Chains A and B, each alone.
Chain A
Amino acid sequence: MSNDSISAKNATADAAGVAADASPTGEPRSEAAVSPDASLLTSGSEGGIGGFFRRIVKVQSFQILLVLLAIFVVFSALAPDTFPTWSNMRLVIQNVSILAVLGIGMTYVIITSGIDLSIGSVLVFSGVIAAKVMQGMGGDGWGTAIVGILVSIVCGVLWGIFNGLLIAKAKVPPLIVTLGTLSGALGLAQVITGGVDIREVPAVLASNIGYGNIPGTTIPTISVIALVLLLILGVVLHKTKFGLYTYAVGSNEESARRVGVKVDRHLIFVYALSGLMAGMAGILSLAQYSTTAIAGQSTTSLAVIAAVVIGGTSLFGGVGTIFGTIVGLFIPAILQNGFVITGVQPFWQQVAIGAVLIVAVYIDQRRRAAASRATKTGKRSLAHLFRR
């Protein structure tokens, strides 16, 4: 009700005939003083190449791309024979692919001002169920593999819907819901396997998708799969109604609701999408490593969240790009690879990523605080992740 009291105060002043152009929103007074009605009278320009560059330079995903290029240049200079080679870059790209698939769903979720901590565990759970089913069916052919792929995807989607229902309908905060499913999905995977990894994976899956290349090239199949998903879901996010509603829900849930956007249903779809990507990643991981790697995904969710945020997607919601997420994934990957090649302890990568992450969130918070001073509608802190 603070909105009410603020504008009511102004309205009273208005009624008394005083300061009709007072600025009740707390905007910088100077702006109003210089030209109280600039907004209705001036028609500034926004076009032009110069304007385009000025705008793009302010975009975080572009800034972070410059950081990535700088890192690349430095390592290329330090290890010109080994670092900037296709075989090395191919390795980096291959390692990033599964995280990229997860990053797609996470980008959507974070744009709605939510969070999904569960993807690492859902990945494991989906992989375990798929491995169990394929083990039960036996056989090394595509028939078994395709069933496994579908099972993994369905498991992921079901976890996602479960998350979405609790968040949208039961109004449990996303951080808590997905913390619960992070634990629950992993626990169930361990119960089902007795904690012992399954290492039987159909040969077609491992050799064609897991570590295979697109026939006739040296391009990893798994990376092409990730790229196709990135392109499709990037277009959906940036060009379609579904994408627009994702931004609208994250920007101002109430306003979306008032114009008839089915906010609850949309949130369920978005968490289902995140689950779908985790299920996808589950089967890809199984194919790549030929093991369910139950204990190997404990930091996956956090790594993906960090990448999404570094790529300029705002934890406050309403802002973000798939492109930024890709760049945000390559920074840790390149750092790790570069440190190994130049003989620095690769543990430094984790330190560097922590620093980049904090800087990224700091910048985001600053920008957000500035914007919400102007709009009043903004969420000022990340506390929204704890409530619905």
Chain B
Amino acid sequence: MSSTTPILEARGLTRSFGAVRALDGADFDVHAGEVVALIGDNGAGKSTMVKALSGNLALDSGTILFNGAEVDLSSPSVASHMGIETVFQDLALAPHLTPPQNMYLGREIPAPGFLGKLGFLDNKTMRARSKVAFDELGATVRSYSSPVGSMSGGQRQAIAIARAVVWAKGVVFLDEPTAALGVVQTKAVLETIRKVRDKGVGVVFISHSMPHVIEVSDRVQVLRLGRRVATFQAKDTSVEELVGAMTGALDAGAKS
């Protein structure tokens, strides 16, 4: 089934901001257990696409299909319920909360029994489980009781990614997850992407680093001026070909 029906598919998405057509009839698809790289020049509409597909942005027109059925991604929680998670380019952690609090924000584990009904939380369990999740990703978090705002960019990125992949059962979007990272951390993120894919999750990876794109993804879809202009099998393409498609130097002859 995964090879025929995409887990998430977008058709003809349109969204304008004033005079700017951020999305102009854009298509997109990702299958379960597949890494799709979404590439394009700055302003091509990648982040806008991610926001639309994660329930964070209303569309002017277009349809979104989840496992072949049309869905209305009207809010982030609708997307969450379907197992769609996102690491946004602007991170979106709460800087004053600790890593476990960020990990479980909006999904807190209540304390057992009556106390839980009163709104008390099971901080111990949340902390222990987030520890497991961070360890699994090789992200050693220095402190589980300090606010994430006091941590380095790389560490915050690791926390944001861990939060997304822990909850993602269907699709996870990573909008430029390695832009702020060093070499070692980037390797860890690429490794994480493979692990998550092997769990059967569809991974959408946005990056400006073509070598990374080719290294980690199965397919590459190219956005230009709010439209998908090409799709490539990662193993058959090259950096030159991708850059050509992004800039429009190569004519938009879509290979598949």
Contact = CB atoms under 8 A, between A and B. Distances in A.
Contacts, number: 170
Given A31-B152, A39-B154, A15 B209 contact: yes
B184 A41 contact: yes
Interface string A359-388: 000000000000100110110000000000
A40 B94 contact: no
Contacts of B110: 241
Chain B contact residues, majority secondary structure: loop
Contacts of A375: 95, 149, 156
Given A8-B42, A36-B182, A371-B149, A252 B208 contact: no
A138 B184 CA distance: 78
A11 B97 contact: no
B60 to A, nearest CB: 20
A15 B42 CA distance: 13
Given A11-B207, A40-B155, A254 B184 contact: no
Contact of B179 (A7, A40, A251, A260): A7
A248 B105 CA distance: 8
A378 B147 CA distance: 13
Interface stretch (B27-35, B84-92, B216-224): B84-92
Given A7-B176, A32-B182, A241-B108, A43 B142 contact: yes
Contacts of B152: 27, 31-32, 38-39, 374
Chain A contact residues, majority secondary structure: helix
Interface string A252-279: 1011111111000000000000000000
13 contacts: A3-B90, A4-B47, A21-B182, A23-B180, A32-B152, A39-B152, A46-B143, A240-B121, A255-B91, A258-B92, A259-B76, A259-B80, A371-B150
Smallest CB-CB A-B distances: 10 pairs: A21-B182, A259-B106, A318-B96, A39-B155, A240-B119, A11-B208, A260-B77, A251-B96, A251-B94, A36-B182
Interface of B: 42, 47, 56, 75-77, 80, 86, 88-97, 101, 105-108, 110, 118-121, 138-140, 142-146, 149-156, 158, 176, 178-186, 188, 207-211
Given A20-B186, A32-B152, A319-B96, 14 more contacts: A7-B179, A12-B208, A15-B210, A36-B154, A39-B142, A40-B139, A40-B154, A240-B120, A244-B121, A247-B94, A248-B105, A252-B92, A252-B94, A377-B90
